[in-house]
Structure 1
Amino acid sequence: MASDPTPVLFHYSFSPYARRIAWYLTLRGIRYKQCMQPPIMPRPDLAALGVQYRRIPVLTIGKDVYCDTRLILQKLEERFPDERLGAADSDGEGKAIENLLESWTTDGGLFLSAVLLIPRNIPLTKDPKFVKDRGSFFAGQKWERGDMTSLRGEAQVQMKRAFDFLESTLLADGRQWLRKTEKPTLADIQAIWPLDWAVGMGSLDGNIISKTSHPKVFAWMARFRQALSNAKARMEKVVVSGSDVLDGLQHEAFAEEEGKVDESDPLGLRKGENVTVWPTDSGSTHRDTGTLVTLNSREIVVQRKTADSRFDIRIHFPRINFRVVPAASSRDSNL
């Protein structure tokens, strides 16, 4: 590869999911560009790329587009292997801790508890457009203020359980970082992001969760913020427009070689087939269609033209919580 394309992170500043990726890139010292997006739909920059997927963040490396933070982090670990933050392949215990923490915060309901604890005086929660947008985003979750208020007590309980868990287990022995390392690792990022988001918004009841009740957790969070601040001081902030990204990509190559479609995959899909892909947990109304180029137990990759048909891109999705079907049958597919 003649040159290494610079990653571009499509996000908005207060997205807790996007922070996972921005934190990772910053702690690694990986130079990247930011393409700032509106917090609600539509997002013309991504639509111009040919991406219908509505969740943030999205990362591009060359003409490859990566969706969902779980897959993005895996790809960054692989593409930039020197001094990566994840556990070594030979460290089964470290890998297990990372995966369990990722599942706990991302799929285990902790993030939704943090969402339910968003302070009611934040301007966005009073904006009808934002409320309508998020109402269509979270399947089965109402975003009217009255509905959220009724669930706040249970959300505080679940958040306290999370603080209790870390205080009494992984941090109980006085370690600085969750895997007993000398600096923060991927495990710390996987665990801290919804907690830091809730603390930063002032969402927590100080009578239930505080520096007094959970001193080890709050000290760990303070160390993480300091490490992040130190790393940010060494990074140059580069912000680009969507049109700049699109114009630049036409001169770049794909970041990855085209993969294969696993012939033993239970879905029976074939390489070159026209398929539709969408997330099943949230944002499921926005679906991407393209030619299937890669399918295995980890990811789905489709190839399609940009909106102006200028060039092809490949969109990558994880298998977990995503569905892929022949495009002809996608209209009849139920979640």
Structure 2
Amino acid sequence: MNDFILHHYDASPFAEKIRILLGYKNARYNVVNIPIIMPKPDLVALTGGYRKTPVLQHNKHIYCDTRLMARVIDEQFSTQSIFPKELSLTSNILAQWADQHLFSVAAALAFSPAGFEAFRQRVPEKFVAAFVDDRAKMREGGTGLSMDANTALQLIPIYLQQFEQQLSNAGPYVCGEHISIADFSIYHCLWFINNNAGVSPLLEGYPNLKQWFEMIKAIGHGSQTHIDATAAIDIARLAQKGVFSKDNFLVINGFTFGDRVEIVPNDYGIAPVIGKLVVSKTDEVAIKRIDEIAGEVYVHFPRVGYKIIAI
């Protein structure tokens, strides 16, 4: 299946999570390289303002947040599911912890003196100030990514030792014999640390963790075909319109089919996406919005981590 389009940039850790998952599924898919910092006008034409990376597109359907993307991808392929029913709570809660808390640790390490100096040596000097300003704006109004480097340096050896012990006693995967969403969520955080020469030595001295890390890394990214942003927007504009029904709509908190709402992240990247509510499930919502360039698109979010606000 090559109908998926992944909007990403190479250095994005959350994009790496989805790339590895697509590799696990032996997927063929398209990729669009997006800017690392704002503005991102082509992407905003599809998302309506959501600014986190990556974004997954399937025709007119735009999926935000890797938590939801992982489920969508998992459902499309016959490969063994990464959501084993016997580990539904364990794997999902651990993945959520990794995506939020462990990633905050990794981000704080990236902005530690050693981590940031390594970053400065890899990018043009004029980009550094723009990047710092962009990430500061991403944190405005949110509660995520607020950890300081000293706290991260205290926490990371505790977590690494716990991973090492669990893999030693219950591996080869984080939750035991079968790969799960927890592996992908923990991996991308450690991948982010490993890619920064200033803090990557922190991962040394954990042989079972290293073996697990290399095993996940070896999965690869599947088969990618690069397309430009204009082509992705054309695909969205020209695709067949979706048909939505009140019959499958789950009324939660009084929101009903067709309500005009805005959806906003709880943690960081506080940028509302506005549209008409057309999908409501236990852990998924979608809004229909009309863009002057992309036409009618449907932007999907998980419920966990997002607020729905009536307009």
Identify the match of residue 161 of structure 1 among 158, 166, 170: 158
Helix, strand or coil at the partner of 2:6: strand
Q: Deviations over 1:276-301 (max 9, x none)?
A: 111121111x2111111122331221
- Residues in 2 aligned to 1:197 and 1:205: alpha-carbon distance in whole angstroms: 9
Helix, strand or coil at the partner of 1:315: strand
Helix, strand or coil at the partner of 1:292: strand
Between 1 and 2, higher relative CO (CA 8 Å, sep ≥ 6) is seen in 2
Percent of aligned positions that are identical: 23
Residue identity matched to 1:128: A
- Following superposition, the deviation at residue 205 of structure 1 comes to 7.0
- Following superposition, the deviation at residue 255 of structure 1 comes to 7.3
Helix, strand or coil at the partner of 1:237: strand
- Residues in 1 aligned to 2:137 and 2:188: alpha-carbon distance in whole angstroms: 24
- Residues in 2 aligned to 1:30 and 1:209: alpha-carbon distance in whole angstroms: 30
- Following superposition, the deviation at residue 251 of structure 1 comes to 3.1
- Following superposition, the deviation at residue 202 of structure 1 comes to 2.5
Determine whether 1:321 maps to 2:308: no
| Runs of 4 or more above 6 Å deviation | none
Contact conserved, 2:91 with 2:180, CA < 8 A, in 1? no
Contact conserved, 2:95 with 2:181, CA < 8 A, in 1? no
Q: Which has the higher helix share?
A: 2
Q: Which residue pairs with 1:198 in the alignment?
A: 193
Identify the match of residue 103 of structure 1 among 96, 100, 112: 96
- Residues in 2 aligned to 1:192 and 1:29: alpha-carbon distance in whole angstroms: 18
Q: Which has the higher strand share?
A: 2
Residue identity matched to 1:111: F
Once the two structures are superposed, the pairs formed by residues 1-335 of structure 1 within 5 Å of their partners are 6-49=3-46, 51-80=48-77, 82-88=78-84, 91-92=85-86, 94-107=87-100, 109-118=101-110, 119-121=115-117, 122-123=119-120, 127-139=128-140, 151-169=148-166, 171-173=167-169, 175-181=171-177, 184-204=179-199, 206=201, 209-211=203-205, 214-228=206-220, 232=221, 235-253=222-240, 260-263=248-251, 265-266=252-253, 268-284=254-270, 286-308=271-293, 311-327=295-311
Residue identity matched to 2:277: L
Helix, strand or coil at the partner of 2:32: strand
Helix, strand or coil at the partner of 1:41: coil
Give the total of aligned pairs.
299
Please tell me the root mean square deviation across aligned C-alpha atoms, in Å: 2.6
- Following superposition, the deviation at residue 103 of structure 1 comes to 1.8
- Residues in 2 aligned to 1:240 and 1:15: alpha-carbon distance in whole angstroms: 18
Query: Normalising by structure 2, what TM-score?
Result: 0.87
Highest CA radius of gyration, 1 or 2? 1
- Following superposition, the deviation at residue 304 of structure 1 comes to 1.1
- Following superposition, the deviation at residue 193 of structure 1 comes to 1.4
- Following superposition, the deviation at residue 77 of structure 1 comes to 1.5
Q: Deviations over 1:57-88 (max 9, x none)?
A: 110112111000001111112233x1144134
Contact conserved, 2:288 with 2:298, CA < 8 A, in 1? yes
Distance 1:40 1:258, change over 3 A: farther
Structure 1 unaligned spans of 5+: 328-335
Structure 2 unaligned spans of 5+: none
Contact conserved, 2:275 with 2:289, CA < 8 A, in 1? yes
